[in-house]
Chains A and B, each alone.
Chain A
């Protein structure tokens, strides 16, 4: 098992250190008209406010909440700017990490960590943009976190094990993020074209890349939850397994 862990660590290190050109899935600066950019800022703002409020309330009770949230934000930042080539599609994309963040911290804090990661990427790496920050936050932060968290809770309440539920959470949060990006993009650029056919075309164009990447994200989430279950079960007990401890398998 140690050898397997060493192999995975070495492979991940090599992957991160490879000098590849940065590619992202975020909507770039200027692609959305200003009116739509503002709509997505407004749509994301309440979720971000809720997340910040949750963070303040939680850190008043437990001081380790803030460092933990910071650590998870760093993980989401790294995961969501890690370009992964997909041989079946001939393109690069990246996992989102918000499914994992939502499982560990809860969905509202998942929005906060996504907001921080996206802001740093827009400012320093030209991934996404400042005007499209709201739209990217809605897709990756809001939809990614909430879909991942509810998938995890639903499967756990149906009796699935935490690792299986985490796999599904990662998978669904990734696919939901890209489906939402398709809808956001179609709404913003369609002009006089009909909305649904365009949204469907964009979503279909994402499929060859995101189908395997979603599975990879599920595997990453499941692996992290499995590791946390062994090493730090207290972290999972705070949010992910809260109220479900009796069903632990």
Chain B
């Protein structure tokens, strides 16, 4: 079973990697959000709208990820003890 799973995974990845280059060159491979969801929605008079917060403009996406990293980092740092060390300290106190 293990071998079958590994072979299946390897084959899928190989196909994906080989094909990935062609896709990028041709840019003809749509996501199913466009090829299926978008297509059926358009046929029934519904169109996807622009994202409410469009981070595709300039370096906005980079800024958004930086801010998310800053907030996440500070939150993790602030809660570090309760996340990783709290249990030990509580146990040690007993």
Seen from chain A, the residues whose Cβ lies within 8 Å of a Cβ on chain B are 4, 7-8, 11-12, 14-15, 18-33, 62-64, 66-67, 83-85, 87, 90-93, 120, 122-127, 129-131, 161, 163-164, 167, 181, 185, 188-191, 193, 198, 201-202, 205-206, 209-210, 212, 215-216, 219-220, 222-223, 226
| Minimal beta-carbon separation of B53 from chain A (angstroms) | 6
Q: Can you show 16 pairs from A to B with CB atoms below 8 A apart?
A: A18-B20, A22-B31, A23-B30, A23-B34, A24-B31, A25-B33, A63-B83, A163-B5, A189-B45, A191-B45, A198-B44, A205-B36, A209-B35, A209-B36, A219-B5, A223-B5
A91/B16 in contact, CB under 8 A: no
Main SS at interface, chain B: helix
**B17 close to chain A: CB less than 8 A:** yes
| With contact pairs A126-B56, A164-B1 given, residues A90 and B28 touching in the complex (Cβ less than 8 Å) | yes
B9/A130 in contact, CB under 8 A: no
Chain A, residue nearest B85 (CB) = A63
A189/B17 in contact, CB under 8 A: no
**B59 close to chain A: CB less than 8 A:** no
Give chain A residues whose Cβ lies under 8 Å from the Cβ of B20: 15, 18, 20, 85
A91/B10 in contact, CB under 8 A: no
Please pick, from B5, B24, B38, the residue contacting A226 in the complex, using a CB distance under 8 A.
B5
A84–B54 Cα distance when bound, in Å, is: 24
The size of the chain B interface, using a CB distance under 8 A, is: 54
A38–B80 Cα distance when bound, in Å, is: 37
| Interface set, chain B 48-79, CB cutoff 8 A to A | 48-56, 61, 64-65, 68
B5/A215 in contact, CB under 8 A: no
| With contact pairs A83-B31, A87-B19, A124-B68 given, residues A63 and B86 touching in the complex (Cβ less than 8 Å) | yes
A91/B31 in contact, CB under 8 A: yes
| With contact pairs A85-B19, A212-B12 given, residues A30 and B47 touching in the complex (Cβ less than 8 Å) | yes
Give chain A residues whose Cβ lies under 8 Å from the Cβ of B64: 123-124
Chain A, residue nearest B60 (CB) = A124
**B92 close to chain A: CB less than 8 A:** no
Please pick, from B9, B33, B40, B68, the residue contacting A223 in the complex, using a CB distance under 8 A.
B9
Give chain A residues whose Cβ lies under 8 Å from the Cβ of B94: none
A85/B16 in contact, CB under 8 A: yes
| Minimal beta-carbon separation of B17 from chain A (angstroms) | 6
B40/A8 in contact, CB under 8 A: no
Chain B, residue nearest A94 (CB) = B31
A94–B36 Cα distance when bound, in Å, is: 14
Chain B, residue nearest A122 (CB) = B51
A129/B12 in contact, CB under 8 A: no
A198–B40 Cα distance when bound, in Å, is: 9
Please pick, from A123, A205, A216, the residue contacting B9 in the complex, using a CB distance under 8 A.
A216
